[in-house]
Structure 1
Amino acid sequence: MQKPSFEIPCVILCGGKSSRMGEDKSLLPFDDKSTLTQYQFDRLKPYFKDIYISSKIDKFDFLDKNRLLLDESEVYSPIAAIDSILNKLNEEKIFIITVDTPLVSIDSINKLISSSDDYDITVAKTIRTHNLCGVFSKSIKNTTEKMLNDDFHKVGFLLQNNKTNIIQLPNDDEFINLNHKEDYLKSLNLIS
């Protein structure tokens, strides 16, 4: 199979508090990289026309500064991050993934992107829906702005109030979310 080349940018979300992990998970070492963020960035970069990191602060020593999208919102919210990304990137569609899902395969990403044409949002589902792994269109901007004005931050609401395509994928393990130390250790085992 030929290596896919996606004509949309990728943004890795790294602006969370990591409260369940007890330390900033975006800065944890992963595989042969000094941080989980660098692992995700280096892994995904060859496939996308552009790649960016969304974060509250500049905390990445490996990153070219024009690849950093600072989310200046006072709230820690994926809705605020998505709105900020849509404001900063003049793109019709953007692939968004969280830093703490480092095992999502390129094949799964390809399925999401290739299924996104007629939708505002296209996200993955295994056992549960993965609200922050998928393609988000500029067409959702009115919804994100209204949600922020109403101080309402549920990503599920964003999906319900836009034309959303939920793609069933078979491998739940690739969507392991590194929220706790045991998730982090399990993912290190899975990758080795």
Structure 2
Amino acid sequence: METPYFEIPCVILCGGKSSRMGEDKALLPFSNYPTLSQFQYERLKPFFKEIYLSSKTDKFNFEKNLILDKENIHSPMVALKNIFETLKNEDKIFIITVDTPFVKIETIEKIINNSQEYSITVAKTEKTHNLCGLFHKSCLSFINKMLEEDIHKVGFLLKNSATKELQFEDEDEFLNMNNKDEYLKAKSIIS
């Protein structure tokens, strides 16, 4: 099988508060990498035109492209706005969170290949994975409107945009490390 290559950038979201984890999950060791963020960055880098980390600060100890989010509020909507304003020449951007390290390249390829007619195309299993998908820059005006009205829910953006939820069966592929138990489960899967 030919290795896919996507002519779009990928942005890994690393700016969350990690309050349920109790420490910054982007900086937790993972697999044979010193941090989860470096694991995700190196894992996805060969498949995209460019790859970036989105964060509040440069807390990373490796060579990377960084999109700094200077807003005081921790909000994925603020991050999305900042990403589209920084990468203003890009029509489409693949967005993924740092804490979902098992999303397969084939899954990403399927999302990208099924995104043509939509503003947003995201993965769905039993639940919708709001921040694992392709976002088109046409979303930016609605994101700005949402932020003016102090609305920060990604689900609200999806409901009010031309969104495609693409069905996948493997729930474990979308394991999201929000707490210590999920982190330990992910570490046991990767080892």
Q: What's the TM-score, normalizing by structure 1?
A: 0.98
Shift of 1:72: 1.1
| TM-align CA RMSD | 0.6
Shift in Å at residue 63 of structure 1?
Answer: 2.7
Identical counterparts, % of pairs: 59
Q: Which residue of 2 aligns with 1:40?
A: 40
> What is the match of residue 21 of structure 2?
21
Q: Residues of 2 paired with 1:61 and 1:31: CA distance?
A: 16
Residues 173-188 of structure 1: matches in 2 within 5 Å?
Answer: 173-188=172-187
Whether 1:159 aligns to 2:167 is no
Q: How does 1:1-20 map to 2 (within 5 A)?
A: 1-20=1-20
Equivalent residue for 2:67? 69
Q: What code does the residue aligned with 2:188 have?
A: N
Q: Of residues 84, 87, 90 in structure 2, which corresponds to 1:86?
A: 84
CA deviations over 1:134-183 (Å, ceiling 9, x no partner):
00000001110011111110111100111000000111001000000010
After TM superposition, where is structure 1 displaced by more than 4 Å over at least 4 residues in a row? none
The CA distance in 1 between the partners of 2:179 and 2:157, in whole Å, is 26
CA distance in 2, matches of 1:75, 1:147: 14
Q: In structure 1, what is the equivalent of residue 102 of structure 2?
A: 103
Q: CA deviation at 1:191?
A: 1.5
User: Mean Cα displacement is larger for which, 133-142 or 55-64?
Assistant: 55-64
Mapped to 1, the partners of 2:153 and 2:15 lie a distance apart of 16
The TM-score normalised by the length of structure 2 is 0.98
Tell me the amino acid that sits aligned with residue 74 of structure 2.
Y
The Cα offsets for residues 84-135 of structure 1, whole Å up to 9 and x where unpaired, read as: 0000002000000000000111111111011111110000001100000000
- How many angstroms apart in 2 are the aligned matches of 1:110 and 1:70? 27
Q: Which residue pairs with 1:56 in the alignment?
A: 56
Counterpart-to-counterpart distance in 1, 2:173 and 2:30: 15
Cα distance in 2 between the residues matched to 1:107 and 1:191: 18
Structure 2 counterpart SS, 1:23 = coil
CA distance in structure 2 between the aligned counterparts of 1:181 and 1:74, rounded to whole angstroms: 26
Query: Does 2:149 correspond to 1:150?
Result: yes
